[in-house]
Structures are given as C-alpha cells and as structure tokens.
C-alpha cells in the first residue's frame, strides 16, 4: 500500500491508545452477552476478538466504541475511564461491515465528514481527504458516489473516513465480511500494512479464523461471553488450552484417552489399546480421562516419511474418504474403535494417493500431541 507516511503518527509522535477492560459485562434482559471480560490491549497493538455468533465479541466492541453501555465493569483508554464519555468524545475511528457510507455524498465528502463535524477548516479538510485517498489507493475517486464503487472500493472509503481525523484507536466490526474470498485476502494484507504504517491501535471483530490468524498481533478467542484464551496466533494454533479453542481455530483431531503414567515429563495415555504420548504443563493423575489433540497436517502416513530420532505416536487406521483439494489431499480416516480422524498432506505427483478402504499406519510427533 503506497503513501503510508501521509497520515502516519504525526511524524512518529502519536502512538496508539492503550485499552483496558475490567470485568466488563453486558446483559440484555436475562441474557448475559458479555460475562466478565478483562483484557489489556497494548498501545499500537492489532488485537482481534474472534468467536462464533453470540460469543459476545461485537457487544464488547460496541461498548468500547460507546454505542452500548456496560451493565458492569469498566473501560479505560490510556488509563482513563470512558464509561461516562459519549462516543463522539472518545475520538475513536470505526469501520462497519456494511460500510455505512452516505449515498448522497461523494467519496471526498464521505471521507471529510468527520473532519467537518470537528470544525476543521475547508482547506485543511481538502488536504487531509486527499492524503487519505492516496493512502487507500483511491487518488482519483473523490468525486464519485458510493454507488459507483465496487465493494472493495467502498470499504477502502470507509477505512479512509475512519482514519482521516487521526484517531489513536480504530475499531473494525467484521469489515471484510461482505467481500469475495480473493478480495478479502488481499485486503487482509493491506490492512496489516496499514496498521504497521499508522502505528495506531486496531481492535478487530471477526468470526473468520483465517482473517484473525493473518492480521493479528494477538487474538482473544471468545465463547459464551468470556475470553477462552488470548495469545499470539501461533501460540493459539499450536497450544490451544481447551477443546473449544482447538476446534474453532483450524481443524483438529480429538482422541479420548486414559492417563497411565508420566515418563520424562511426557504424559502417557492409552487410546483403544495404543500407547500415546503427549506434551502438557498439566500433571494428571493415573486413571484420569483426558483428550488428546493434534492438527491434521501434522499427521503423515508411516510408510512415507522416514522416522527420525523424534518421539513418534503411531496407530492403524482405515481410509474412508479421499479428497483432492488442489495443494493438499484430505483423507478421512477411521480407527478400529470408530473414531474419525483427518489427515492432510501436500499434493504431489511424487506422492502415492491412498484409496478408500485401505488399511495403513499413520504417525505424528509427540511434540504435536497436546493434552487438553
């Protein structure tokens, strides 16, 4: 994205705002949409609230924006509570999924609207609008109307309008949800570069795990009004703390097992007669029923990859479905006990395709086996 310097940080002197949520709650009648959320969002961070519909992520964002009033708890921006501060005095940029552009105003007038509301002189407005158009790669679109733009262009205008007055905090509510897959993926990278160039704090709400993994510094996974886990994308993907997180971010295999010992800091568990080893910071007692999880792309067919010195889990399965999906082949497998598993391997003419009904052995690293 070109022209990142024009609106960035006032020359480097204005960092993003920090945001602290303390035991934040929001109830609608008897329904508690947000049930005690506490989060510290760092200055200049790109944090994503990720979760399914009804998890409380949008309600949390709307409370930060000031469009919803908390039932309990506090919201502080740069250490100052804003609970009693109306939205227009919080100086927050906001981007919505439906763009929310004024159809009767030109692109330039839409972008300049928040400046006009703040009493910015006309000449200064024109300068800042021009910079925002350049930043969003729309330098010659100022006199067009929203109806004359594509969905991606309208979203760029919405972003330009949200950042033209140089807020220190930008809130994004499913901003790419209405776009097609390829455009959405392109804009994800552009939004990431925009964040890096502006240096302000971004808080994104989405239900799209790929979007969250691509764009975020950290992700707060929400479920039933609470934060299930927060961390860097790679930490959440590689070390989910519970079944919900493991199943919601990416695809996972789950094996119910019973702990039978601990060996050199690794938990041993029996699953359908197979001895499994798993890594964990927990130390469950012998006889405890646990859940083992591993990602489909971490599995491989045991006859394909030479075993190294790494500790390996192995088991026998039967192929019940084989799907070619371009860069990967996806296999649905079934254990002797009837548990379904998924294995994904790189598609290549040099790799033998497995057939439905074939019985074979799969293997994967103990380091990739997580005990929940």
Q: How confident is the model at residue 283 (pLDDT cuts 50, 70, 90)?
A: confident
Q: Where are the domains of the chain?
A: 19-244, 251-371
DSSP assignment of 125-175, as one string? HHHHHHHHHHHTT-TT-TTS-GGGS-HHHHHHHHHHHHHTT--SEEEEEST
What is the rounded average pLDDT of the residues 58-84? 96
pLDDT per position as a tens digit, 187-238: 888 889 889 989 999 999 999 999 999 999 999 999 999 999 999 999 999 9
Decide if 19-244 and 251-371 have a common fold: no
In the 8-state DSSP scheme, what is residue 109?
Answer: H
What is the per-residue pLDDT for 239? 92
Whole-number mean pLDDT of the chain?
90
pLDDT digits (tens, 9 = 90+) for 15-54: 899 999 999 999 999 899 999 999 999 999 999 999 999 9
Q: What is the reported pLDDT for 186?
A: 84
Q: What does CATH list as the number for 19-244? A: 3.40.50.300
Q: What is the pLDDT of residue 305?
A: 54
Query: Do 363 and 314 meet the contact criterion of CB atoms below 8 Å apart?
Result: yes
Measured distance CA(177)–CA(191) in Å, rounded: 14
216-255: b or e for each residue (b if 16 or more CB lie within 10 Å)? bbbbbbbbebbbbbbbebeebbebbbeebbbebbbebbbb
User: Domain 251-371, CATH 2.20.25.90 — does that match?
Assistant: no
Is the pLDDT reported for residue 326 higher than 50? Answer: yes
pLDDT band at 14 (very low <50, low <70, confident <90, very high): low
User: Confidence band (pLDDT; 50, 70, 90) for 183?
Assistant: confident
SS3 call for 367: helix
């Amino acid at each position: 994205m070109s022209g990142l310097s024009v609106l960035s940080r006032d020359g480097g002197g204005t960092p993003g705002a920090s945001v602290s949520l303390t035991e934040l709650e929001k109830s609608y009648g008897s329904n508690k949409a947000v049930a005690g959320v506490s989060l510290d969002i760092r200055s200049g961070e790109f944090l994503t609230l990720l979760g399914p519909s009804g998890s409380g992520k949008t309600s949390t964002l709307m409370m930060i924006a000031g469009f919803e009033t908390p039932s309990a708890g506090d919201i502080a921006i740069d250490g100052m509570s804003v609970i009693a501060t109306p939205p227009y005095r919080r100086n927050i940029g906001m981007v919505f999924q439906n763009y929310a552009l004024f159809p009767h105003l030109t692109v330039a007038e839409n972008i300049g609207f928040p400046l006009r509301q703040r009493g910015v002189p006309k000449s200064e407005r024109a300068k800042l609008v021009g910079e925002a158009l350049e930043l969003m790669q729309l330098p010659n679109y100022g006199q067009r109307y929203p109806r004359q733009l594509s969905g991606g262009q309208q979203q760029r205008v919405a972003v330009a309008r949200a950042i033209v007055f140089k807020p220190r905090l930008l809130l994004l509510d499913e901003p790419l949800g209405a776009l097609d897959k390829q455009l959405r993926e392109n804009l994800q990278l552009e939004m990431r570069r925009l964040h890096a160039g502006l240096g302000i704090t971004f808080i994104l709400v989405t239900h799209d795990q790929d979007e969250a993994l691509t764009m975020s510094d950290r992700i707060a996974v929400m479920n039933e009004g609470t934060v299930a886990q927060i961390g860097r994308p790679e930490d959440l993907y590689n070390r989910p703390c519970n079944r919900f997180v493991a199943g919601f971010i990416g695809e996972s295999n789950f094996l119910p097992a019973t702990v039978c010992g601990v060996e050199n800091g690794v938990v041993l568990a029996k699953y359908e007669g197979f001895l499994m080893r798993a890594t964990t910071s927990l130390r469950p007692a012998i006889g405890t029923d646990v859940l083992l999880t591993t990602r489909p792309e971490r599995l491989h067919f045991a006859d394909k990859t030479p075993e190294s010195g790494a500790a390996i889990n192995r088991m026998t399965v039967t192929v019940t479905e084989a799907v070619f999906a371009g860069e990967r082949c996806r296999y649905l497998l079934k254990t002797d006990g009837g548990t379904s598993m998924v294995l994904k391997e790189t598609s290549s003419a040099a790799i033998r395709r497995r057939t439905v009904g074939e019985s074979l052995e799969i293997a994967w690293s103990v380091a990739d086996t997580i005990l929940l």
